[in-house]
Amino acid sequence: MNRIVVVGASAAGLTVAETLRREGYAGTLTLVGDEPHAPYDRPPLSKQVLSAEWEPDRVALRTPADLAGHGLDLRLGVAATALDLAAQEVWLSDGAKVPYDGLVIATGVRARRLPGEGAHVLRTLDDALMLRERLGPGRKLVVVGAGFLGAEAAAVARRLGADVTLLEPAPVPLAHAVGERVGQVLAQAHADHGVKLRTGVSVTEVTDEGVRLGSGEEIEADEVLVAIGSLPNTEWLADSGLSIGDGVVCDEYCEAAGNVYAAGDVARWYNPLFGTSMRVEHRTNAAEQGMAAARNLLDSEARKAFSPVPYFWSDQYDMKIQAHGYLRGHDEVAVVEGDLGERRFVAAYRAGDRLTGALAVGMPPKAIRGWRQAVAAGASWRKAVHDATTV
């Protein structure tokens, strides 16, 4: 294998490239990124960058010297437009056709939008810098979507003195992911900090004055942030012959086709640990999957299934939220340590007869570490909860 192309120059793509070099690959290595910026970290965008605690240079994942040391054919500000599997070529927006022997797709996701003009989204560094220029004391911000991204942005905006209204179509924010009781606790934190939280409302469009709800009511705002989820960047693969279904469909090795792998937010792969296909939009997964895809591409004889325990974290006000496992589709949530009212607790999640995840709020990392190990071991729900409650 003499020519490897990595499409996507964010956390997953950069990790792929670095892992390839670390594992001894010495051939041509092309890293393609549609943004003009060198690879940078995205989680701080809705926190430290938006709050102006960090300046843009601090989110860079590597220094220019580090990148140069990998001997990359680095092509930034250029998007992939098509993939020719038969010819083994990636077509780029500048007209170039880049040949490959091995390919890793790490094109990530983009923000969903609403009809209308003028709303912000929060996916790129430029997005975060544009929004932070518009926030400050007395400014009215409407955030559409009370998921983790919207909630983090709302918390930062309140800290900056903005008047924040948070709109959510579900009766309880994040209930589908973390359960109703935990969702209510997180929602109350926003109310306690002065956020006007309205649930069970739909937003139909962004207007010149703010947003319009499904009921016809209009809510005025100086700025609107739309945080209603994301879409995998797979349009350029439409005629490629790859299987596309809410991401690039891969097997347990992260392989989508012969010598074609995917990693990061765009990859939907079969996770043997949970016995299901999943697509995970978390920073830790991007790095771990990037390493797995790179190693499996290089050595097909020693491939290993990628079966991680997903991890994510969120910072909102004084709350540190950490979760391990696959919380969606759970059948039961049990608080196994601490107190919901104090916003210091650990909650465990059951699907079928298995422990599938755990979430901690306001607790030290060690409080949830054992739960992660139990998820990784495929522990039964009864044994995990029994062990925790009899310590």
Ordered DSSP codes for 122-170: -SSHHHHHHHHHT--TT-EEEEE--SHHHHHHHHHHHHTT-EEEEEESS
Same domain, 76 and 176: no
Same domain, 186 and 161: yes
Rounded to an integer, the average pLDDT of 156-168 is 97
At residue 299, φ and ψ (nearest 5 deg) are: -130, 90
CATH number at residue 354: 3.30.390.30
Closest CA to 193 of 315, 313, 342, 318: 318
pLDDT(390) > 80: no
Per-residue pLDDT band for 209 (boundaries 50, 70, 90) equals very high
- d(CA 267, CA 261) in angstroms, rounded, equals 9
Which of 168, 195, 226 is at the close of a domain? 226
Residue 337 lies in a domain: yes
Per-residue pLDDT band for 388 (boundaries 50, 70, 90) equals confident
Measured over the CA atoms of residue 166, residue 172, residue 177 and residue 180, the dihedral's sign is: positive
Measured over the CA atoms of residue 33, residue 36, residue 40 and residue 41, the dihedral's sign is: negative
pLDDT(15) > 70: yes
Please check whether residue 357 is in contact with residue 350, taking contact to mean a CB–CB distance below 8 angstroms.
no
Same domain, 82 and 126: no
Same domain, 361 and 383: yes
Which of 257, 273, 302 is at the close of a domain? 302
Residue 309 lies in a domain: no
Same domain, 276 and 298: yes
Residue 312 lies in a domain: no
pLDDT at 101: 97
Residue 307 lies in a domain: no
Same domain, 221 and 247: no
- d(CA 167, CA 151) in angstroms, rounded, equals 10
CATH number at residue 264: 3.50.50.60
Residue 143 lies in a domain: yes
Q: How many domains does the chain have?
A: 3
Residue 87 lies in a domain: yes
Can you name the residues that pair with 140 across neighbouring β-strands?
Answer: 163
- d(CA 362, CA 358) in angstroms, rounded, equals 13
Q: Is 21 helix (H, G, I), strand (E, B) or coil?
A: helix
DSSP state of 210: E
364-379 per-position pLDDT tens digit: 989 999 999 999 999 9
What percent of the chain shows pLDDT beyond 90? 94
Same domain, 245 and 278: yes
Same domain, 100 and 247: yes
Residue 308 lies in a domain: no
337-357 per-position pLDDT tens digit: 999 999 999 999 999 999 999
pLDDT at 16: 98
Residue-number span of the structural domain to which 325 is assigned: 318-389
pLDDT(303) > 80: yes
Per-residue pLDDT band for 391 (boundaries 50, 70, 90) equals very low
279-291 per-position pLDDT tens digit: 999 999 999 999 9
Letter string b/e over residues 313-329, b meaning 16 or more CB atoms within 10 A of that residue's CB: ebbbbebebbbbbbbee
Place of tokens 């437009």: 81
Same domain, 214 and 119: yes
Which of 182, 198, 226 is at the close of a domain? 226
Same domain, 96 and 238: yes
Place of tokens 């937003």: 203
Residue 313 lies in a domain: no
Same domain, 214 and 134: yes
Same domain, 241 and 141: no
